[in-house]
Amino acid sequence: SEAARVLAFMPAQQGITWWPRGGANLTCLTEETFLPLPDNSIDRILMTHMAENTEHIGDVLKEMSRVLSSNGRMIVMVPNRSGWWASHQRTPFGFGFSFSLPHIRRILTHHGFQVERHARALYMPPFGTRFLASYVNWIEKNCDAFLPGLAGVLLIEVSKQVYARPVLKQAN
């Protein structure tokens, strides 16, 4: 289903990219640890190219939790530490931090998120040749079973952990 509103926030230090191309700009520059949104106002977040480029991952995740609704979901995309893409600086994933699956799961859980599921993607090597390009569909479909460590990115879907407050009994 189509979203009622789609917004893109980019960290001020990164600069802005016009998005979507050919339409009205929906991108806003902001501080990475402050989103100009009310608490519990967002149902879905796609966090990409953020975790690997920040030195304040805890503060970023705290802010994501603040704006994410209690039944909201967030997909975090990070470079896979053992993948080809993290070791090539000509790629968007070749800069900053990279993560193993246990590492990013631990970080997300520590900051109040419940990991719902994860996936790996981007098996096509960043040094593609015409020969490999003809096999891209096969590579992407089959490498997860045979060479999961070579995935370029890890995708982790999380929900916000919301704890119920205890009911206090009134004294008679």
Q: 70-79, pLDDT tens digit by residue?
A: 999 999 999 9
Confidence of residue 69 (pLDDT cuts 50, 70, 90): very high
**pLDDT tens sequence across 96-107:** 889 999 999 999
Question: SS3 for 103?
Answer: helix
Q: How far apart are CA 121 and CA 90, in angstroms?
A: 18
Distances (CA, A) of 2 to 5, 6: 9, 9
Tokens for 63, please give them.
């802010």
CA 154, chain centre distance (Å): 9
Residue 137 structure tokens: 């569909």
What average pLDDT does range 9-24 have in this prediction? 81
Q: How far apart are CA 48 and CA 118, in angstroms?
A: 15
pLDDT one-digit tens code per residue, 126-152: 766 677 777 888 888 888 888 888 898
Predicted local confidence at residue 3, as pLDDT: 66
List phi, psi (to 5°) of 105: -60, -45
Whole-prediction pTM value?
Answer: 0.83
CA-closest candidate to residue 121, choices 75, 91, 81, 77 = 77
Mean pLDDT calculated for residue range 97-125: 93
Rounded Cα distance between 138 and 132, Å, is: 10
What Å distances lie between residue 45 and 23, 63, 88, 97, 126, CA to CA?
Answer: 21, 12, 27, 21, 27
Please report which confidence band the pLDDT of residue 44 belongs to, taking 50, 70 and 90 as the band edges. Answer: very high
Share of the chain above pLDDT 90, in %: 40
72 DSSP 8-state letter: E
